[in-house]
Structure 1
Amino acid sequence: MTQALSTEEQSKDRYFQQLAKVAEEMVDEHGKDFAAGALVLAARWVAENRLGQTDNRPN
């Protein structure tokens, strides 16, 4: 039996699909090391509340 996803779960699923697409495009254009590094850096910015700042270069 399959349980329907909640509205929040559907929204999260769409974001995961978008992330997967972006990651695939980065791998295709620049390789998996770049893609992994960029995603880790983005996660760091989220964790450090640095999104939207004009200077997001790593310390």
Structure 2
Amino acid sequence: MTQALTTEEQSKDRYFQQLAKVAEEMVEDHGKDFAAGALVLAARWVAENRLGTPQDVKH
């Protein structure tokens, strides 16, 4: 018996699908190292509350 997903679970699933698509595109365009680094950097920005705020980004 399969249990239906809650509204929150459905929302989270959509975000995971979007992340997977973006990650696949980054790998295709720039390789695995770039994709992994970009996703780790994005996770770091989330953890540090730095999204949406101008910061000195070192390239």
Instruction: Tell me the TM-score normalized by structure 2.
Output: 0.93
| 1:25 correspondence with 2:20 | no
The amino acid that maps onto 2:49 is N
Count of matched residue pairs = 58
- Structure 1 runs of 4+ with >3 Å offset: none
Deviations 1:7-48 (A, max 9, x none): 000000000000000000000000000000000000000000
Cα distance in structure 2, aligned partners of 1:50 and 1:14: 23
2:50 is the counterpart of 1:50: yes
Separation of aligned partners in 2, 1:53 and 1:8? 27
Superposed CA RMSD: 1.1
Percent of aligned pairs with the same amino acid: 84
Unaligned ranges ≥5, structure 1: none
Structure 2: runs of 5+ lacking an equivalent: none
